[in-house]
Amino acid sequence: MKNRRDGRKVKDLDALHRLMAHIKSSRADSDIYINQKIDMTKLVEYYEKLQKDERYKDITYFHLFCAALGKLIYNRPLLNRFIVNKNYYDRNKVTISFVAKKEFTDESEESFQLIEINERDNIFSLSEQIKGSVEKIRTNQAHEVDKLMNFIGKMPRWVINIFIAIINWADRHDLLPSSLTKDLIYYSTIIVSNLGSIGCGAIYHNLTNFGTNSILMTIGEIKDDIIVVNGEPVVRKMCEFGVNADERIANGFYYVQTIKLFDYILQNPHLLEEDVNKKIELPKKKK
């Protein structure tokens, strides 16, 4: 099997991971659930500092989270791996996707949004890119995939069944046109849902066997919580994260170290001003 347009085939796999793709051939049946609460106190202080500067008043918590995830993925490259047809691939690009509503109402239409994160991006460049993407929704500039889904969704059920069967086959064989996949969230490194923006806590959302997406994260509301620091109860700004990931792309130790790094980035938000590909070394614990 050769490389795909969106990824390079992994050739140096160990025997266990090679077998895993055959034992658990479905992404939706290979997911693991990760729940983590992270201290947001430093991030909140950083955000409030940005809000005092007119240049950065449009930066939101979601922008900060996306920048942190971009930095995390560049530092933990196995997060950018996916499996199709029992073959492992390293994705060519780092991408974050989300579903955005035109308005916060039950009836408002939703639109897929996908952001590419380049090596030299940081919180400021990513914020501008995300704002530009959301603005397209507000001005009704729909993506090709949105138009196609609206068209197919109005067809009779038997036509939809045939069409989806063809789409799934083409998906597995890398035959879907890039005009459809380039803006589709199921072809991104990570899908992010900021539930905190609507006052909701983190939940777990299933992965799908369609596409190449291997990680889905929901972000809860930032709120006061009591934690123990040096044996004393203190109030901190905490946020809960719910992650659903394909266990086949990395082992448990790799995921644990990834969570520690994500925690470290969010508690040191000045790192978000650096290029996302800058290497981060976690400080060693004192014995």
pLDDT for residue 143 is more than 80: no
Which domain does 104 fall in, by range?
7-226+237-273
The residue with greater pLDDT, 277 or 286, is 277
The pLDDT score that the predictor gives to residue 88 is 96
Q: What is the pTM of this model?
A: 0.89
DSSP structure class, residue 148: H
The arithmetic mean of pLDDT across residues 111-135, rounded, is 91
CATH code for the domain of 214: 3.30.559.10
Asked if residue 107 is part of any domain, the answer here is yes
Asked if residue 106 is part of any domain, the answer here is yes
Q: What is the pLDDT of residues 203-214, one digit of tens each?
A: 888 899 999 999
User: For 46-60, 162-176, 245-259, which range has the lowest pLDDT when averaged over its residues?
Assistant: 162-176
pLDDT for residue 74 is more than 90: yes
Q: How far apart are the first and last CA of the chain?
A: 48
Asked if residue 105 is part of any domain, the answer here is yes
> For the chain, what is the domain count?
1
pLDDT for residue 44 is more than 60: yes
Q: What is the pLDDT of residues 253-266, one digit of tens each?
A: 999 999 999 999 99
Asked if residue 282 is part of any domain, the answer here is no
**Cα angle, residue 210 at apex, residues 207 and 212 outer, rounded to 5°:** 75
The pLDDT score that the predictor gives to residue 59 is 96
Contact 45, 94 (CB under 8 A): no
Three-state DSSP class for residue 214: coil
DSSP the chain: ---BTTEEEP----HHHHHHHHHS--GGGSEEEEEEEEE-HHHHHHHHHHHTSGGGTT--HHHHHHHHHHHHHHHSGGGGEEEETTEEEEESSEEEEEEEESSSSTT--EEEEEEEE-TT--HHHHHHHHHHHHHHHHTT---HHHHHHHHHTTS-HHHHHHHHHHHHHHHHTT-S-HHHHTT-GGGSSEEEEEGGGGT---------SSSS--EEEEE---EEEEEEETTEEEEEEEEEEEEEEEGGGS-HHHHHHHHHHHHHHHTSGGGGGS-TTS---PPPPP-
Asked if residue 183 is part of any domain, the answer here is yes
User: For 5-9, 44-48, 174-178, 266-270, which range has the lowest pLDDT when averaged over its residues?
Assistant: 174-178
Rounded CA-CA distance 237/43 in Å is: 9
Asked if residue 80 is part of any domain, the answer here is yes
Asked if residue 95 is part of any domain, the answer here is yes
pLDDT for residue 104 is more than 60: no
Residue 41 corresponds to which amino acid? T
Asked if residue 177 is part of any domain, the answer here is yes
The arithmetic mean of pLDDT across residues 199-227, rounded, is 92
The pLDDT score that the predictor gives to residue 159 is 87
Rounded CA-CA distance 111/115 in Å is: 13
pLDDT for residue 49 is more than 70: yes
